[in-house]
Chains A and B, each alone.
Chain A
Amino acid sequence: MSPVVPEREPAVPGDWELVVGLEVHVELSTATKLFCGCANRFGDAPNTNVCPVCLGLPGSLPVVNAAAVDFSMRLGRALGCEVRGAVFARKNYFYPDMPKDYQISQYDQPTNTDGHLELPDGHTVGIERAHIEEDTGKTTHIGGGGRIHDADYALVDYNRAGVPLVEIVSRPDIRTAEQARAYVRELRAILLAIGVSDARMEEGSMRVDANVSVRPAGSDELRTRCEIKNLSSLRALGRAIVYEAQRHVELWSGGERPRQETRHWDEANGRTTPGRSKEDADDYRYFQDPDLVPLAPATGTIAAIDAALPPLPAARRAELVASGGGAVSTEDAALLVERDQDGLVRAAIAAGADPGVAATRVANDLAVDDWSPVTPEGLAALVSMEISGRLTATQSKQVLAEMADGGGAPDVIAQRRGFQAMAGDDLAAVVDQVIAGNPDAWSRFCAGDEAERKKLAGFLTGQVMRATRGQADGAAVNRLLQERAGS
């Protein structure tokens, strides 16, 4: 899971409400670009995946990639959208990374409209539309420290030009920064589940812009919003929303109003800065692209897409929680589904594993790319070894790691490593040694109130763990400490 950075939630004082809508651009993982047969591939030498069409050479014409249309409709249905006939339009503006100086997009008739996305906490965010469009090339600003305003010149690589994108536009239904992050995580989980994108924010195959505004609590007006760009991580998304919301509250409170504008998140300084000026009001002169013909899903297409959709994250979370009979936490369930490990855990539960321990162990300790060697039966065996006390939690983690590396069955690994939870008289002896060696702590433990006792139990247990090199079971140590203290 991405690190959760405290971002001073709530973002706004109690008499204000945060209003956020997200625009997420997702690159579809088709083999070829949206309108030509060039490879849709990240990381190749500049200007090698280009042809007359994606370079916008005179006389070239676009032809729509059937897979991109299919992927976009699949995504639409996964988001509960209406999927309808659509037309491609031209969005006209000049920019060096755009080969035709217009972008082929969908404007007034997009493929997907009116969907929704349910967050793991139950909050529902409306989806206004999810439309297909082509990506631009990539510009590198040279000189002036790479900053756009001081650059000496720029270089353009068109490998990305024409890569298929779907832009998913949410309704302004998001009320906290955490919800914004949860929305993006959930969207990513859906994209991965239906196999239409690798959705990596770091590589730019998933790009998030946030429309942020605030309003007095209880009002349903929509006040001036700012569009925040350059959000390259979930952390940045959360921080930027909080910063921007507070900026708006300060402006409104001081009798001013924010200007409607595009702003950039400055990660280093933790603030947003004004971006493109809007003095030449955007006039994209949209019109239907005469080089392309409308999309009209044939009868049965939507039903076939629905029938072929895999179980979606929300359903998988619910199923996992249900299979655990209440023992699997919603947090663990969310994480396991996001990592596509819910199937493993459910199978282990079916093979007799304790649901709570199985879920927690995998959620906490199996954050690796390839965990295919871990079988449900192996996981169930590991969990039962841990529960029976044959392995400590620490040992269990290590065994699981080795299982993921292809080390074999848990009992074999435990034996090879000489793992065995220390228990009984051996453990009692170590505990007594630690008590003797830390008389101050021990007396404070015996005399302290509940909080003090808890703190010191942690310290003393740590000492025992150190002495046994992690082979003690924490719960057993705690039991012994309580016994020795006579409580």
Chain B
Amino acid sequence: MSGRITRDEAAHVARLARLRFSDAELDELAAQLSAVLDHAADVEALDVTDIEPTSHPHPLVNVTRADEVRPSLDWDEVLAQAPSVDDGQFRVPPILGEAP
């Protein structure tokens, strides 16, 4: 167990990911993630300065569609799946902060 990731770091990552863990769970996660990152040390150590990143296996470009309207979903079908609906809209508890 290398301790690459501390409990505080794990807690910070959990906040970003909107997940909640107990302290014990955070400690276990920190250890497990550290182990995976230790395994990834081979990648981390690699000198790849002259190598471009590949985000995608196939070099496609300019895949677009024509600006033509297609049917939208039925309103009922959309809202039938929602946990909470009000006035034709998705209802959520109060939002405390503004969007970035």
Contact = CB atoms under 8 A, between A and B. Distances in A.
A302 interface: no
Interface in B35-84: 55-56, 60-73, 75, 78-79
A282 B90 contact: no
Interface string A13-55: 0000000000000000011100011110000011111111001
A148 B98 contact: yes
Nearest to A297: B62
Contact of A64 (B15, B18, B63, B94): B63
Contacts of A31: 67-69
Contact of A154 (B63, B70, B95): B95
A136 interface: yes
A275 B66 CA distance: 40
Contact of B92 (A45, A68, A154, A277): A154
Given A32-B69, A38-B69, A293 B63 contact: yes
Interface stretch (A89-97, A166-174, A243-251): A89-97
B92 A38 contact: no
Contacts of B69: 31-32, 37-39
A93 to B, nearest CB: 6
Given A37-B65, A68-B67, A296-B61, A46 B89 contact: yes
A60 to B, nearest CB: 11
B79 A47 contact: yes
A295 B62 contact: yes
Interface string B85-96: 011111111111
B95 A32 contact: no
Given A276-B100, A290-B56, A293-B56, A156 B92 contact: yes
Interface string A254-269: 0000000010100000
Contacts of B71: 37
A241 B98 CA distance: 21
Contact of B95 (A96, A280, A282, A293): A96
Contacts of A85: 61
Contact of B97 (A47, A158, A276, A294): A276
Contact of B88 (A45, A64, A154, A293): A45
B1 to A, nearest CB: 26
Which are the 10 A-B pairs with shortest beta-carbon distances?
A37-B70, A67-B67, A155-B89, A66-B64, A288-B55, A296-B61, A293-B60, A156-B90, A151-B94, A95-B99
